[in-house]
Amino acid sequence: MDARVASICCRSLSCCASHQPVQLLWLSSEEHFRSRNLNSLLVCKGRSIHSPLYRKSFQHLLFARYSSEFQPNAASSKRRGRGPAMLAMKGDREKEKEGGQYKATVDLPQTSFSLRANSVVREPEIQSLWEANKVLERVSEKNDGSTFILHDGPPYANGDLHIGHALNKILKDFINRFQLLQGRKVVFVPGWDCHGLPIELKVLQSMEPEARKELTPIKLRKKAAQFALKTVEQQCRSFKRYGVWADWSKPYLTLNPEYEAAQIGVFGQMVLKGHIYRGKKPVHWSPSSRTALAEAELEYPDGHTSRSIYSAFKIVHVGDNFPESLKNFVPALGVAIWTTTPWTIPANTAVSVNDNLQYAVVQVHHPSQTSLAEDGSSKVGTRTKKIGNGLHNPDLQYLVVALDLVEVLESKWNVKLEIKGTLPGSALEHCRYVHPLFQRESPIVIGGKYITTESGTGLVHTAPGHGQEDFVTGQKYDLPMLSPVDDEGNFTEDAGDFKGLSVLSEGNVAVVEALDKASHLLMEEPYAHKYPYDWRTKKPTIFRATEQWFASVEGFKEAALSAIANVEWFPPQGENRITAMVSGRSDWCISRQRTWGVPIPVFYNIKNGEPLMNPKTISHVQEIIRQKGSDAWWYMGVEDLLPEDYKQEAEHYVKGSDTMDVWFDSGSSWAAVLGTRKHLKSPADVYLEGSDQHRGWFQSSLLTSVAVQGSAPYKKVLTHGFVLDEKGLKMSKSNNNGIDPKVVIEGGKNQKEAPGYGADVLRLWVASVDYTGDVLIGEHILRQMSDIYRKLRGTLRFLLSNLHDFKPESDTVNYERLPMIDKYALFQLANVLDDIRESYECYHFYKFYQLIQRFAVVDLSNFYFDTAKDRLYVGGTKSFTRRSCQTVLVAHLLCVVRAIAPVLPHMAEDVWQHLPFTHFLKDGSRCHHVFEAGWPQTDAHWKSLSKDDVEYWRTLLQIRTEANKILEAARGGKLIGASLDAKVFLSTTNEALLARLAQHTTEDPDRLCRIFITSQAEVLASVNEATSLDVKYTGTSTLEGLGDLWIGVSKADGSKCERCWNYSVKVGSFENHPTLCERCQGVIRHGAGLGAKCETAVVAV
Ligand SMILES: [Zn+2]
């Protein structure tokens, strides 16, 4: 196993919870990881480490792609011994044994903020705190920025939430909380989609068959509403538990009367603008649900196989353009067609050709030795094909097929097709053929580009009642639109002998058999392809012409396309998806033959069926619905539903029974929510939903909005992918691989196997994934998230615990006087804050996740905190070095806690409630909650570090890494134990660097030994001098662009100070404190509380 060992002192993260150095096993070998994609985690496949030794002292840790940067700094502190603090916290007996007389002078970290989050209990407490103090409302009201509007897409109110819902709402919450910190007002109104078939079906399924018969529309609607409201309540509780901030007391529900009224208003506007019409058109029809379906209600499962047939129709007349030379074939000439829906043959009213294709008249010759079995069947792979009688029909010895397909068809039909002549498609127009099953003539017509030679024969069987393209061609030639199929998908009497047969089963078979019997079937074979299924019943649908209400997308398609171009799509490929969908969209069928929905407010004349619907009738119904809800449509009489002017004629009308497509419901939310709620308006700043909504809510919202107000209802549209399990498989009940967000947060039945991680760990996972594609989740990933969460918590705990005695107003050290190491730490803080802010602004939350993790582990824990402990614990309570360090820690605390707040709001608030000092807002008022504090404004000074200084510190950190390697070797060779036992020598061939290094030896926190955490460090004037020294552990390395570096490690000079464990030659020279070094005796002599005088400065963060 290619495993490199990195180590991090646990104390640098957890401070005093445990002082056993925790080592992190860093698996670098590619094979141990599965890379999700460029930006996401490397997921360790979870090889367990079997050695008990490993298990005890090693933990897995995931690092994102900066792990290569992690490596150099990592080998740092296994060897660190931070004596005093450790000693002071040990049991009394041990303290005496180890001589703890100075323990009271050590400044131990103190905080009640525990390392253990106890999220299952603590998070709800924090949520109650927010609710009781109306934090969201108050902060939003106080913020002076403009209102930020993220408009919520309504989930269906028909079941428990799944992990996809959690991903969606948590992403929205990141955005809202970030905007709130940026000073914007945030009004987030959550919504629910409450109408529609799924709920209707749930109600029906929950009832006994007898009770179902008794069900009136009104009873059904009451039950459906109860079911929806109950579900809304349950889902609402879950969303709140995720820590999602919203106006939960006033959500929008599509069943609310005011919502329904606004929706009727949108519909009325579209009627007024002439975009709504009634017509007989083929629509996707679900026989199993007995209703029309929208494109968004279809799915295309794998594995559908149709019975496809080749059939020939005999030509009886030729058109004017038919070539003279081919006319003598006509008595025995047929047109060959191919279809995957034989049941549509009874509705055939034309054959279409492409006028740009070349066609051939071919003669059918049968090979003398047939490879077919006697019954005419043969096996092609595993698929059975059947040759029909049509190939032996003397009336059809000549066939018209596309020239390009002659060879293909020869092999398919197992015949020789002799080309007798060719002709362009246009020459076939106005020829007439006789229907193979019914005695009626139909024309050959010019279809369009949709007719190709990719499959079939190049001639298309056309049934305008059963296909979209067929319908368009039918309109062009005024073809009859036959659709002899009823609501249940059975043939009607118009289909003659086929009456009563189901078109999707026995009806289809009967048509094929009839064609064969009539000697018009050339061949039949199974054909696997994508076929639309009803997404709810999982049964196949058909195309069927019915009387429906349509929104004429054609009427505003150009406007819709230009609106799309004005919206910002993220990820950008979303624009192509929705553009293609809208430009290919035929008119939108908006009527449904269901009960649980908003009625189409139309009346029909009893005598002639003419619809009555105009602005007057619509606004009358709209007002009734606003006051009484849409139930009124069902329980009120026509007389009352009609406005005054029409009441006299009420007896001549009936009310329509269709409801609107639920996509029209949710697609009207820009009007019903953004258009009616205080502070909101259309267009919204952001819509954010799953990528399947390009054909769902994004589109229905766009279409209604463009139709009514001429523009899109959103400025920006973000999409996220689906959540898959750790192996990348779709979650399903049958796979038993679902991850329930409730269990993630609160834990499962077996808390050992499924511990409750709390909402913040779930949220951290959401931040960690590149949500623009599909994302993975599983137990292993969650455990990693929990580890990283704990590390961040440890970082914040270190900050809190070392500020227990710090008063920002009096103890802060002015920036100018800060040591270099502190200035450099602030420089890094300022930069990481900029980067984090940018990652939030660009919605790249995974970048936030990587940045904060790297910052906490590499920059803080491994370096700054590691070096800071010396001065914090033993530097003297009020010493300058301790106060300057605390000045930096305060800045870090106040910045980091706010930077993580959008993603980890519970932890951030928990930290805020444990602040050891009071934070005041600009107006002098006390800041009680982290979100009141706003986004941290960094001090301009922090970035004022010169380029030279920055470069120098980067070099110094490289040198530190190299020094650590030699120290590690010395420790391995038992020369030293802890790093404080050592003295480091260094030299370099680079003179400028050498001079700069020499400067470090004087001022305390910047002294090289403090940075290396050794007792001494000596810079030697030349490498020659260095190599002549008698030092056992040495190493030479090359610093990038800066020449050679030489490092040596020997045992430290002098003796070990009892208090700080640093070695000094001065130990033993102080009469009253013979066991102390010069620093410690100074601290003790002046009282631990006395140190350099501090200046007052304002912490501007
Ligand atoms: Zn000391």
- By CB neighbour count within 10 A (0-12 exposed, 13-18 middle, 19+ buried), where does 777 fall? buried
Check: CB of residue 518 under 8 Å from CB of residue 352: no
How far apart (Å, rounded) are the C-alpha atoms in residues 1014 and 735?
Answer: 56
pLDDT tens profile 758-792: 999 999 999 999 999 999 999 999 999 999 999 99
The residue that leads in pLDDT, 351 or 1100, is 351
Residues 6+ apart with CB under 8 A from 961: 72, 73, 75
Alpha helices (H) along 289-432: 406-413
What pLDDT, on a 0 to 100 scale, did the predictor assign at position 327? 84
User: Chain centroid to CA 628: how far?
Assistant: 39
* Spacing, Cα 179 to ligand 1 middle (Å): 49
Q: Within a 10 A sphere around the Cβ of 448, how many other Cβ atoms?
A: 14
* Spacing, Cα 1009 to ligand 1 middle (Å): 14
User: Chain centroid to CA 40: how far?
Assistant: 13
* Spacing, Cα 914 to ligand 1 middle (Å): 32
* Spacing, Cα 489 to ligand 1 middle (Å): 92
Instruction: Give me the mean pLDDT over the 714-734 stretch.
Output: 94
* Spacing, Cα 1080 to ligand 1 middle (Å): 4
The single-letter code of the amino acid at 663 is W
How far apart (Å, rounded) are the C-alpha atoms in residues 252 and 259?
Answer: 8
User: What secondary structure letter does DSSP report for 713?
Assistant: S
Instruction: Give me the mean pLDDT over the 356-382 stretch.
Output: 64
User: What secondary structure letter does DSSP report for 106?
Assistant: S
Check: CB of residue 807 under 8 Å from CB of residue 889: no
* Spacing, Cα 171 to ligand 1 middle (Å): 51
User: Strand 568-570 relative to strand 714-720: parallel, antiparallel, unpaired?
Assistant: parallel
pLDDT tens profile 294-318: 777 788 988 888 889 999 998 988 8
* Spacing, Cα 527 to ligand 1 middle (Å): 86
Break the chain down into helix, strand, coil percent, rounded to 5. Answer: 45, 20, 35
Helix axes 759-768 and 163-181, enclosed angle (nearest 10):
90
* Spacing, Cα 1035 to ligand 1 middle (Å): 29
pLDDT tens profile 522-550: 889 888 888 999 888 889 999 998 888 99
DSSP codes, 930-967: GGGS-S----GGGG---HHHHHHHHHHHHHHHHHHHHH
- State phi, psi for 1025 to the nearest 5 degrees: -60, -40
How far apart (Å, rounded) are the C-alpha atoms in residues 232 and 234?
Answer: 5
What pLDDT, on a 0 to 100 scale, did the predictor assign at position 57? 31
How far apart (Å, rounded) are the C-alpha atoms in residues 177 and 73?
Answer: 34
Please report, rounded to a whole number, the percentage of residues in the chain having pLDDT higher than 70.
Answer: 88
* Spacing, Cα 8 to ligand 1 middle (Å): 24
Pair of tokens at residue 12: 């640098």
Instruction: Give me the mean pLDDT over the 580-588 stretch.
Output: 87
Check: CB of residue 199 under 8 Å from CB of residue 157: yes
- State phi, psi for 193 to the nearest 5 degrees: -90, 115
What pLDDT, on a 0 to 100 scale, did the predictor assign at position 89? 56
Band the pLDDT of 1012: cuts 50, 70, 90: very high
Decide if pLDDT at 25 tops 50: no
* Spacing, Cα 1087 to ligand 1 middle (Å): 14
* Spacing, Cα 1073 to ligand 1 middle (Å): 10
* Spacing, Cα 1077 to ligand 1 middle (Å): 4
Q: What are the C-alpha distances in Å from 247 to residues 22, 177, 684, 699?
A: 44, 13, 16, 25
pLDDT tens profile 952-1007: 999 999 999 999 999 999 999 999 999 999 999 999 999 999 999 987 756 788 89
- State phi, psi for 213 to the nearest 5 degrees: -65, -30
* Spacing, Cα 870 to ligand 1 middle (Å): 10
Decide if pLDDT at 143 tops 90: yes
Decide if pLDDT at 567 tops 60: yes
What pLDDT, on a 0 to 100 scale, did the predictor assign at position 87? 55
* Spacing, Cα 507 to ligand 1 middle (Å): 97
How far apart (Å, rounded) are the C-alpha atoms in residues 1057 and 1069?
Answer: 12
User: Chain centroid to CA 725: how far?
Assistant: 14
The residue that leads in pLDDT, 188 or 293, is 188
Give the closest residue to 523 by CA, choosing from 435, 360, 419, 414. Answer: 414
* Spacing, Cα 808 to ligand 1 middle (Å): 27
What pLDDT, on a 0 to 100 scale, did the predictor assign at position 368? 61
User: Strand 147-148 relative to strand 185-186: parallel, antiparallel, unpaired?
Assistant: parallel
* Spacing, Cα 877 to ligand 1 middle (Å): 14
* Spacing, Cα 890 to ligand 1 middle (Å): 26
What pLDDT, on a 0 to 100 scale, did the predictor assign at position 29? 33
Instruction: Give me the mean pLDDT over the 578-605 stretch.
Output: 91
* Spacing, Cα 975 to ligand 1 middle (Å): 21
- By CB neighbour count within 10 A (0-12 exposed, 13-18 middle, 19+ buried), where does 202 fall? middle
What pLDDT, on a 0 to 100 scale, did the predictor assign at position 197? 84
Decide if pLDDT at 323 tops 60: yes
Pair of tokens at residue 170: 């948590």
How far apart (Å, rounded) are the C-alpha atoms in residues 174 and 165?
Answer: 14
Q: What are the C-alpha distances in Å from 413 to residues 118, 334, 370, 403?
A: 73, 16, 11, 16
* Spacing, Cα 1079 to ligand 1 middle (Å): 6
Instruction: Give me the mean pLDDT over the 851-858 stretch.
Output: 97
Give the closest residue to 626 by CA, choosing from 213, 185, 258, 216. Answer: 258
How far apart (Å, rounded) are the C-alpha atoms in residues 145 and 176?
Answer: 13
pLDDT tens profile 74-86: 334 444 545 555 5
- State phi, psi for 945 to the nearest 5 degrees: -55, 135
The residue that leads in pLDDT, 57 or 671, is 671
Q: Which residues pair with 215 in a beta bridge?
A: none
Alpha helices (H) along 748-856: 759-768, 779-801, 808-811, 820-841, 845-854
* Spacing, Cα 443 to ligand 1 middle (Å): 105
Decide if pLDDT at 1008 tops 80: yes
Kindly report the average pLDDT of the chain as a whole number.
86
pLDDT tens profile 64-107: 322 333 333 333 444 454 555 555 555 444 544 444 688 889 99
* Spacing, Cα 1081 to ligand 1 middle (Å): 7
* Spacing, Cα 1058 to ligand 1 middle (Å): 7
Check: CB of residue 708 under 8 Å from CB of residue 148: no
* Spacing, Cα 1053 to ligand 1 middle (Å): 14
* Spacing, Cα 860 to ligand 1 middle (Å): 24
* Spacing, Cα 781 to ligand 1 middle (Å): 45
* Spacing, Cα 432 to ligand 1 middle (Å): 108
* Spacing, Cα 1075 to ligand 1 middle (Å): 9
* Spacing, Cα 818 to ligand 1 middle (Å): 23
* Spacing, Cα 1067 to ligand 1 middle (Å): 8
* Spacing, Cα 90 to ligand 1 middle (Å): 19
Instruction: Give me the mean pLDDT over the 1030-1049 stretch.
Output: 91
What pLDDT, on a 0 to 100 scale, did the predictor assign at position 101? 81
* Spacing, Cα 797 to ligand 1 middle (Å): 26
How far apart (Å, rounded) are the C-alpha atoms in residues 157 and 207?
Answer: 19
* Spacing, Cα 874 to ligand 1 middle (Å): 8
Within 691-787, strands assigned E span 714-720, 723-724, 775-776
Long-range CB pairs of 831-838, under 8 A, 24+ apart, other chains included:
831/943, 832/859, 833/895, 833/899, 833/936, 833/938, 834/938, 836/899, 837/899, 837/935
Where do we find the tokens 């932890």? 907
* Spacing, Cα 98 to ligand 1 middle (Å): 15
Decide if pLDDT at 34 tops 60: no
Rg (CA), the chain: 39
pLDDT tens profile 186-235: 999 999 999 998 898 888 888 887 887 788 899 999 999 999 999 999 99
What pLDDT, on a 0 to 100 scale, did the predictor assign at position 298? 84
Residues 6+ apart with CB under 8 A from 1030: none
* Spacing, Cα 1074 to ligand 1 middle (Å): 11
What pLDDT, on a 0 to 100 scale, did the predictor assign at position 767? 98
Tell me how long the chain is. 1101
What pLDDT, on a 0 to 100 scale, did the predictor assign at position 880? 94
Check: CB of residue 738 under 8 Å from CB of residue 162: yes
* Spacing, Cα 876 to ligand 1 middle (Å): 11
User: What's the whole-model pTM score?
Assistant: 0.79
Cis peptide, bond prior to residue 683, ω within 30 of zero: yes
Pick the range with the lowest mean pLDDT from 48-52, 186-190, 909-913.
Answer: 48-52
Check: CB of residue 575 under 8 Å from CB of residue 564: yes
- State phi, psi for 527 to the nearest 5 degrees: -140, 115
* Spacing, Cα 984 to ligand 1 middle (Å): 18
* Spacing, Cα 176 to ligand 1 middle (Å): 51
How far apart (Å, rounded) are the C-alpha atoms in residues 448 and 457?
Answer: 15
Instruction: Give me the mean pLDDT over the 591-601 stretch.
Output: 92
* Spacing, Cα 1026 to ligand 1 middle (Å): 28
* Spacing, Cα 1078 to ligand 1 middle (Å): 7
pLDDT tens profile 697-707: 999 999 999 99
How far apart (Å, rounded) are the C-alpha atoms in residues 412 and 525?
Answer: 10
How far apart (Å, rounded) are the C-alpha atoms in residues 464 and 478?
Answer: 10
Please report, for the chain, how many H helices and E strands are present, in that order.
37, 44
* Spacing, Cα 932 to ligand 1 middle (Å): 43
CA 705, 707, 709, 712 torsion: positive or negative? positive
Instruction: Give me the mean pLDDT over the 37-61 stretch.
Output: 31
* Spacing, Cα 871 to ligand 1 middle (Å): 11
The residue that leads in pLDDT, 2 or 1026, is 1026
H, E, C per residue of 33-72: EEECCCCCCEEECCCCCCCHHHHHHEEECCCCCCHHHHHH
pLDDT tens profile 109-126: 999 999 999 999 999 999
What pLDDT, on a 0 to 100 scale, did the predictor assign at position 85? 56
Please report, rounded to a whole number, the percentage of residues in the chain having pLDDT higher than 90.
Answer: 61
Cis peptide, bond prior to residue 571, ω within 30 of zero: yes
What pLDDT, on a 0 to 100 scale, did the predictor assign at position 374? 43
